[in-house]
Amino acid sequence: MSAAIQSIEAILVDIPTIRPHKLSMTTMGVQTMVIVRIKDSAGLEGLGEATTIGGLAYGPESPESVKLTIDTYFKPLLIDQPADAINTLRVRLNCAVRGNNLAKSAIETALLDMQGKRLSRPLCDLLGGALHQHIPVLWTLASGDTEKDIEEAHSILAQNRHRDFKLKIGSRALMDDVRHVAAIKEAVGDRASVRVDVNQAWDEATAVKGMAELQAAGIDLVEQPTPMKDFAALVRLSKKFHIPILADESVADAKDMFALAAAGFSGAVAMKIAKAGGPARALEQAMVAQASGIGLYGGTLLEGTIGSAASLHAWSTLETLHWGTEMFGPLLMRDDIVVTPLNFHDNGVDLPSGPGLGVEIDEDKLTHYRRK
């Protein structure tokens, strides 16, 4: 007889960032994670994480709303259900609860972690098996200060920690942003790939001018230049420039991916397990992108180690990550709540080993950073 789910706990955890992290919609000084712990009648525990950027600045789910959703709506649907019936539980949640993909992703991750522990297999084996044990990771230069960003880039290149950089732009006047980006690209030269993330800050006319300037400056990729619902603008821009566009907020799941591809978009997609509703759902999106000739990129909502590990297990099963990943969230935080942090080196990160996620909670750190 299958073990049954006995308890579900959603815990708010606040960890300061190593520096202010500036985006077009907010500046972050603290990252809040929702850590999910599911225990079954056999004594196993599965871990999951739901994290977003800047409270409600990024999307419709906040850490507080994720906790409320899990505590109030998910628990009655999941308690006493078979813990290994992951697809059945996913359908059960989807029938009863619309949206709330961050919360659903944390639940799916925790159930997969528990199943991996039950079978003594890493989570990636439940998704088809890893093709990669070391996965490329870029770093975001987001202090907003040109000289500080150049200094940070030189330091990271010297450590051989990353060789791809993303710059957050869109909060300043267009040409101020262009000068900032161009100066950094000139400083790192051919030693590093430089990409930008506009986080939906431009209208289409601004994007046309901005992308022309960025293309001339040698920038490799432009992420989500226009508002998320304006699919037509992304398609037109992708046809107008040879600098590729990375669709992020526009594409949450496989259906969004199909709609954008069918409309004629070419470029790449930022997959995020939280947007899609879980690791398995994110891989469905990847299959649609691959069938459409659209490049793959492993995106983040600046998750800590638990959420990043879940993403890494999913990305490890993909043959080609055309633009790498940005699973650097744990490096942006001043501390961690796991016993063994992820191993970042040589322009990437190692896939955690061991059953499930391969991650264990540090109970003292969790207690320290848990919201009182």
Are 105 and 160 contained in the same domain? no
Are 290 and 237 contained in the same domain? yes
Query: In this model, does residue 108 exceed pLDDT 80?
Result: yes
Distances (CA, A) of 64 to 28, 37, 60: 17, 16, 11
In a domain, 252, yes or no: yes
Closest to 115 (Cα-Cα) out of 156, 84, 139, 145: 84
Are 237 and 274 contained in the same domain? yes
Residue 312's pLDDT is: 98
Please list the active-site residues. 168, 326
* Domain total of the chain: 2
| Band (253; pLDDT cuts 50, 70, 90) | very high
In a domain, 59, yes or no: yes
Query: pLDDT digit string (tens) for 287-343?
Result: 999 999 999 999 999 999 999 999 999 999 999 999 999 999 999 999 999 999 999
Are 262 and 179 contained in the same domain? yes
In a domain, 356, yes or no: no
pTM of the model: 0.95
Query: pLDDT digit string (tens) for 259-268?
Result: 999 999 999 9
Are 181 and 329 contained in the same domain? yes
Query: pLDDT digit string (tens) for 215-248?
Result: 999 999 999 999 999 999 999 999 999 999 999 9
Residue 138's pLDDT is: 95
Are 106 and 188 contained in the same domain? no
CATH assignment at residue 337: 3.20.20.120
CATH assignment at residue 111: 3.30.390.10
Q: How far apart are CA 69 and CA 272, in angstroms?
A: 20
Residue 27's pLDDT is: 82
In a domain, 105, yes or no: yes
Are 254 and 209 contained in the same domain? yes
Query: pLDDT digit string (tens) for 160-219?
Result: 889 999 999 998 999 999 999 999 999 999 999 999 999 999 999 999 999 999 999 999
Do 48 and 110 touch, CB atoms closer than 8 A?
yes
In a domain, 357, yes or no: no
Are 132 and 272 contained in the same domain? yes
User: What average pLDDT does the chain have?
Assistant: 95
Query: In this model, does residue 22 exceed pLDDT 80?
Result: no
In a domain, 268, yes or no: yes
β-sheet with 245-247: strand ranges across: 139-141, 164-168, 193-197, 221-223, 245-247, 268-271, 295-298
Are 318 and 194 contained in the same domain? yes
Are 39 and 167 contained in the same domain? no
In a domain, 355, yes or no: no
Distances (CA, A) of 33 to 10, 19, 28, 49: 10, 17, 13, 7
Quote the domain boundaries for residue 66: 5-121+362-369
Are 68 and 202 contained in the same domain? no
Q: How far apart are CA 318 and CA 306, in angstroms?
A: 20
In a domain, 253, yes or no: yes
Are 84 and 164 contained in the same domain? no
